[in-house]
Amino acid sequence: MILGYGEPVTPPPDLSEATFTDLARHGNRPAVLTSDGTLSYRQLAGMVDELAARLGTERRLVMLAARNDLGSLVAYLAAITAGHPLLLVPADKPAALEPMITRYQPDVVLRTDDGAVELDERCPGTRHELHPELALLLSTSGSTGSPKLVRLSRENLLANARSIATYLGIESTDRAVTTLPMSYCYGLSVLNSHLLRGAGLVLTELSVVDPCLWDLVRGHRATSFAAVPYSFDLLERVGFADMDLPSLRYVTQAGGKLSPEKVRAWARTGQRRGWDLFVMYGATEATARMAYLPPDLAAEHPGAIGVPVPGGSFRIDPIEGLAAGELVYTGPNVMLGYAGSPADLALGRELHELRTGDLAVEHADGLYEVVGRRSRFVKIAGLRVDLGQVERILAELGVTAAVAGSDVDADESMVVALEGDHDPGMLLTVLASDLGVPRGAVRMHPVEHLPRLATGKIDYPAVRSLNTGRAPSPTRHAPLREGPADVPRIFAESLDRPRVDPTDTFVSLDGDSLSYVALSVRLEAALGQLPPGWHLMTVGELSGRRPPRRRRLVSLLEPSIVLRAVAIVCIVAAHVELFTFHTAHLLFVVAGFNFARFQLTGTRPVRLRRQVRSLARIVVPSVAFIFLAYVLTDDYSVANIFLLNAMVGPQEVTTQWHFWFVEMLVYVLIAVTALMLVPWLDRLERRTPFLFALGLLALTLLSRYDIVDTGLPKPLPVFWLFALGWAVARADTVQRRVLISVLAVLVVPGFFDHPLREATIVAGVLLLTWVPALPVPAILRRVTGWLAAASLYIYLTHWLVYPVLLPLGQVTAVTGSLPVGVAYWALCQWIPTALARHRRKRAAVTVPA
């Protein structure tokens, strides 16, 4: 039932002993309001109870990939209600999701798809020892994807929700719009405090710059929303101060320090427009909130964090040599402790107070003010420098900047990120003079925008990394000798990303088999042999690896890279008739292997985006070149241009069959993309990836043994080879690898009636299955990488190149065809990069200041 605004609602119940999971007691009061309608508390309670029953009564570790949607809200409440410890991660950050699954091995993973909750049961019981008090696990603020988690109890959540509801004066008639992710402790606290009081939640993922958000606020008469400092920069852009929002009662601010000038300005704006500004202070380790500044004091004391929240208290521990001391918080919302591994989930309470790491003073009127961070000091040339003070000096000069200590020089220098168009030389002179530090100890880096986390906070690790090239200039070239410090830049340049964060992975950055080769070759040169599964490791983890101590004569490359390089050389050589060694079908095995590794991670929308993008990177350059070949020669037809020759082309082998490999690869990729669009198949593949791959292999073997006709007039069926490679990628135990090896030995022979060709495929499968790396002469490492990355492009172009070179000799025809294909590959990489940079430049010009 969807409630209308005119229908009667249940009177507010007695909430003195309520919890935020006591949903049914609020009756038919509006609980969730979206653009699609309104859901009552009674309806919400029914949905929560239904999912809680599916989760079972045995306590298990549950992971929720959360969005600001109804399904995520139901999943969160169901897990907490049923007593299952919940690990909450953002759904839109695969870089956070995959490492957490790998490290913590949740028994159940919950995701949402079009509002429905998908339950992926990975263990029928539980594989963990879970402490009775453990209720929630959250990444520490600013460390999305980090294995370090905050352990919170149900009492932590309830105490903080009651405290927030008290000082904000939340009533059942209030309605909060969800402007922050629920996977972020600040955003989650909004949900808990409002559910506690039977208030409404205007559930949305819209940004504050989206006009539709404000239509939603007006339409559902929202009374509040939460903001971080960066939100106020965006609010200025959209003219929020002059918006007509008659229902708005207050705005809360936390998630970092808002400058006193902005606090005063926004507090006065609120007074003028009829709403209050609550400046708040907190941390994930305190569940959310530790202090708030009463709205009537904001304009007069804009630099203060205010007073402790109800139930909490502060003290200041002195620090030798500093006027300020460390702020220490005590209260029922202090976390149980940290978790760094699954074994820590069995731990109970380890803390009774929280040392915030913030430097603070208490004023005579009882208000507290944070003046810096203990960790935000560096020692340069023997001088203690407050990085926060450096930012304030620059702010007084009208410069928006972020300052961090250098990773390269420990505490011997600092990195300054300057947003916008400023004169670094002039600012360097000012800072060196004001601080009394050497000019060489200050590294200035102009950036278009300061790096920020999803919460809007400054990403200080990314600022530090500017010294190591994490935010490369588009025209910057790689140094002759790259090392671990260059890893972020290598990712950015290889994947054409303007920004690469420490928590990003190759997969989360939408890498595919084409970009994988070029990136892995450069990483191998910088880091030495790459570990298995490096494509799922974060940039930060890879940057922390030690480089090779000395230059080696032999490099180690993944078998898939070496096989692609060798295979394409053999293909060209066979067509030139230099020698005959058939390897084309082996490339279908490699394609399936890479598809499973790169395209089958993340949510369904993320998977689809990757699969479509990967398909486009094959289709577009292929169609473009075949069109050119059609214009220049009489060898091809219109069917070739549209990759349809295998369906409508001639039965006999002619030049029109030159591009059969590309056509069959595209057909297979379209088929598997369509397959994974089926929701229940997608869920099945997530739940049992190896068994799914085996089942697909068994199904495709029907065409291999001619039990089912593929309907294509000429090529031998190749889908089963693709599925075989897929299964190899999913064989993650010795027993499974043995099974795949046996299957390859059994099913490949007899397919071609050509023993050497069949042995080649079997050998390739065994290499992919058992050998983590193959030795390649170091001098040929880059060449091997180029050939592997450009293998598709070499296949396309050699049909036009080698006939021209053949009169000069077979060896010349082969060696001449290879660089032309590499050049076409480089061109196809450069064009989208150039277009993307052009779009970014135009966007930067058109975005209002």
What Rg value do the Cα atoms of the chain yield, rounded?
A: 30
Question: Residue 391 corresponds to which amino acid?
Answer: E
- CA–CA distance from 612 to each of 464, 492, 536, 724 (Å)? 35, 21, 20, 22
CA angle at 556 for the pair 551 and 557, rounded to the nearest 5°: 130
CA distance 498 to 489: 10
Neighbours of 816 (CB within 10 A): 18
Provide DSSP, 792-845.
HHHHHHHHHHHHHHGGG-HHHHHHHHHHHHHHHHHHHHHHHHHHHHHHHHHHHH
Residue 306 is given by DSSP the state B
CA distance 165 to 158: 10
Q: In a 3-state reduction of DSSP, which class is residue 137?
A: strand
Q: Could you give phi then psi for residue 300, rounded to 5 degrees?
A: -85, -35
Q: Six-digit token pair at 494?
A: 């290889």
Could you tell me how far CA 483 lies from the centroid of its own chain?
Answer: 24
As averages over each run of 10 residues, the pLDDT of the chain (849 residues) reads 36 53 93 92 96 95 95 97 94 74 92 88 91 94 62 96 96 96 94 96 92 94 93 89 94 90 95 96 94 96 96 93 88 95 94 92 93 74 72 84 67 80 80 74 85 75 70 36 75 74 75 73 77 76 67 78 95 93 93 89 75 90 96 94 90 89 94 91 88 94 82 72 95 91 95 91 95 87 89 96 94 95 90 68 42
Strand-pair category, 86-90 with 62-66:
parallel
Contact 617, 662 (CB under 8 A): no
Q: Six-digit token pair at 64?
A: 């929720």
The pLDDT, as a whole number, for residue 603 is: 66
- Residue 608: closest CA among 511, 674, 690: 674
3-state secondary structure 447-515: ECCCCECCCCCECHHHHHHHHHCCCCCCCCCCCCCCCHHHHHHHHHHHHCCCCCCCCCECCCCCCCHHH
Q: Six-digit token pair at 607?
A: 């998977």
pLDDT digits (tens, 9 = 90+) for 577-588: 999 888 999 999
The pLDDT, as a whole number, for residue 543 is: 78
CA distance 31 to 29: 6
Beta bridge partners of 88: 64, 138
The pLDDT, as a whole number, for residue 839 is: 62
Residues in contact with 442: Cβ distance below 8 Å, sequence separation at least 6, in sequence order:
413, 414, 416, 428, 431, 432
3-state secondary structure 536-558: HCEHHHHHCCCCCCCCCCEEEEC
> Exposed/middle/buried for 6, CB within 10 Å: 0-12, 13-18, 19+?
exposed
pTM: 0.54
Strands ordered across the beta sheet of 325-330: 313-318, 325-330, 354-362, 368-373
From the DSSP assignment, how many helices (H) and strands (E) are in the chain?
29, 27
Residue whose token pair is 């107070």: 353
Phi-psi category of 373—alpha, beta or left, where left has phi over 0 and alpha has psi -120 to 50? beta
Contact 813, 576 (CB under 8 A): yes
CA distance 368 to 304: 6
CA distance 404 to 417: 9
Could you tell me how far CA 825 lies from the centroid of its own chain?
Answer: 27
Q: Alpha helix locations (H) across 223-372? A: 229-237, 260-273, 295-298
Beta bridge partners of 113: 116
Could you tell me how far CA 576 lies from the centroid of its own chain?
Answer: 45
Residue whose token pair is 């065809």: 817
Q: What length does the chain have?
A: 849
The pLDDT, as a whole number, for residue 557 is: 83
The pLDDT, as a whole number, for residue 816 is: 95
CA distance 498 to 341: 33
> Exposed/middle/buried for 37, CB within 10 Å: 0-12, 13-18, 19+?
exposed
Provide DSSP, 200-222.
EEE-----TT-HHHHHHHHHTT-
Beta bridge partners of 281: 291
Q: In a 3-state reduction of DSSP, which class is residue 33?
A: strand
Beta bridge partners of 373: 358
CA distance 77 to 97: 20
Domains of the chain: 24-369 (3.40.50.12780), 381-468 (3.30.300.30), 479-551 (1.10.1200.10), 558-813 (no CATH)
DSSP strands (E only) in 301-459:
307-308, 313-318, 325-330, 337-339, 354-362, 368-373, 377-380, 383-386, 401-405, 414-419, 442-447
Q: Six-digit token pair at 569?
A: 């050389």
Beta bridge partners of 317: 326
Q: Sign of the CA dihedral 93, 96, 97, 99?
A: positive
Strands ordered across the beta sheet of 149-153: 116-121, 108-113, 62-66, 86-90, 134-139, 149-153, 337-339
- Residue 537: closest CA among 601, 604, 462: 601
Strand-pair category, 354-362 with 368-373:
antiparallel
